[in-house]
């Protein structure tokens, strides 16, 4: 009789760690999400469609997705500039600026919302200069976008910093030796090299903005059909003991967010694959 012994794994405890991983994901992610769909299924298709297509709900969808997309796009541009400055240059107070990037992580969301409302109000430090120009930030979609941009900046900066630090300087030198201008080097060498990291930061900032509540609820004013975001609408449904209606709106947000993030990941995968082929 020939005995065959299983080849030992290079990493010990694989079975135990895999079991713990699956159990943890089930408890934290899969079971709550399945409960969300299960509760929504109790209301019937007609009531579900009526709930998610209500004009007030549709207006909140447009504001949440539009403001989140705008905030993530702004962060993708200016987050790149901030990350580039922190990686490539040395200047007095650099460590302080680097620490300030993480400020939205450290601040409670309600504190950030109150601070932004105070600053951008009609008599605030920034708002008093915007009012004469006819720009009103507080209690408008602009204020929602400002709040979502504020909480999403660290995701882009912290994702881009390692990619910019690992960027090969010889590629830039080679482009310059071949006659490329600084803008051409930036657009054709640097940006394509860090594009996967930029898309990752964009996706993180976008997904974080979609679920934001505390920093937006103060500066938005919560006016139905104008400045009411989806998380606030869900909380309002729960306060009215309409749990099925709240889960229905949450399911639509979940599916839409998943589709958008999947599209971003596919673009990121295609960009990384294209870079590997060129290399």
- 149: pLDDT strictly greater than 90: yes
- For the segment 58-94, what is each residue's pLDDT rounded down to a tens digit? 999 999 999 999 999 999 999 999 999 999 888 888 8
**d(Cα 144, Cα 64) in Å, to the nearest integer?**
9
Longest dimension (CA), the chain: 92
Kindly state whether residue 52 falls inside one of the protein's structural domains.
Answer: no
Dihedral angle of Cα 12, 16, 18, 20, to the nearest 10 degrees: -140
Kindly state whether residue 101 falls inside one of the protein's structural domains.
Answer: yes
- For the segment 241-258, what is each residue's pLDDT rounded down to a tens digit? 888 888 999 898 888 888
- 226: pLDDT strictly greater than 60: yes
Range of the domain at 117: 62-278
**d(Cα 23, Cα 31) in Å, to the nearest integer?**
10
Kindly state whether residue 217 falls inside one of the protein's structural domains.
Answer: yes
Domain count, the chain: 1
Model confidence band, residue 266 (pLDDT cutoffs 50, 70, 90): confident
Kindly state whether residue 26 falls inside one of the protein's structural domains.
Answer: no
The first and second tokens of residue 60, run together, are 């909140």
Alpha helix positions (H), 89-190: 94-100, 103-106, 109-120, 127-130, 141-165, 169-177, 182-185
What is the mean predicted confidence (pLDDT) over 193-217?
88
Kindly state whether residue 81 falls inside one of the protein's structural domains.
Answer: yes
- For the segment 150-189, what is each residue's pLDDT rounded down to a tens digit? 999 999 999 999 988 888 777 777 877 877 788 888 888 8
Q: What percent of the chain has pLDDT over 70?
A: 92
Model confidence band, residue 4 (pLDDT cutoffs 50, 70, 90): low
Kindly state whether residue 95 falls inside one of the protein's structural domains.
Answer: yes
CB atoms within 10 A of CB 221: 15
**d(Cα 82, Cα 37) in Å, to the nearest integer?**
41
Kindly state whether residue 215 falls inside one of the protein's structural domains.
Answer: yes
Kindly state whether residue 224 falls inside one of the protein's structural domains.
Answer: yes
If we measure between CA atoms, which residue out of 151, 153, 146, 148 comes closest to residue 230? 148
If we measure between CA atoms, which residue out of 102, 113, 103 comes closest to residue 144? 113
Domain of residue 98, CATH code: 1.10.3720.10
The first and second tokens of residue 126, run together, are 């920034």
């Amino acid at each position: 009789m020939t005995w065959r012994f299983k080849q030992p794994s290079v990493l010990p405890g694989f079975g135990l760690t895999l079991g713990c991983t699956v159990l943890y994901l089930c408890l934290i992610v899969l079971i709550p999400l399945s409960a969300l769909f299960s509760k929504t299924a109790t209301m019937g298709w007609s009531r579900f469609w009526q709930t998610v297509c209500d004009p007030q709900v549709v207006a909140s969808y447009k504001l949440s997705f539009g403001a989140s997309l705008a905030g993530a796009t702004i962060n993708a541009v200016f987050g790149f500039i901030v990350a580039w400055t922190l990686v490539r240059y040395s200047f007095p107070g650099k460590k302080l600026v680097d620490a300030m990037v993480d400020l939205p992580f450290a601040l409670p969301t309600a504190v950030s919302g109150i601070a932004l409302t105070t600053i951008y109000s009609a008599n605030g430090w920034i708002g008093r200069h915007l009012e004469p120009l006819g720009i009103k930030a507080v209690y408008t979609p602009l204020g929602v976008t400002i709040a979502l941009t504020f909480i999403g900046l660290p995701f882009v900066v912290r994702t881009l910093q390692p990619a910019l630090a690992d960027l090969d300087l010889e590629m830039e030198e080679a482009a310059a030796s071949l006659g490329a201008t600084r803008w051409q080097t930036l657009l054709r060498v640097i940006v394509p090299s860090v594009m996967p990291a930029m898309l990752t930061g964009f996706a993180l900032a976008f997904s974080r903005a979609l679920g934001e509540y505390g920093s937006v609820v103060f500066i938005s004013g919560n006016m139905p059909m104008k400045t009411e975001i989806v998380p606030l609408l869900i909380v309002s449904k729960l306060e009215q003991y309409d749990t099925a209606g709240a889960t229905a709106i949450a399911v639509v947000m979940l599916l839409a967010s998943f589709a958008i993030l999947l599209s971003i990941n596919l673009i990121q995968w295609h960009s990384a694959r294209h870079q590997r082929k060129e290399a």
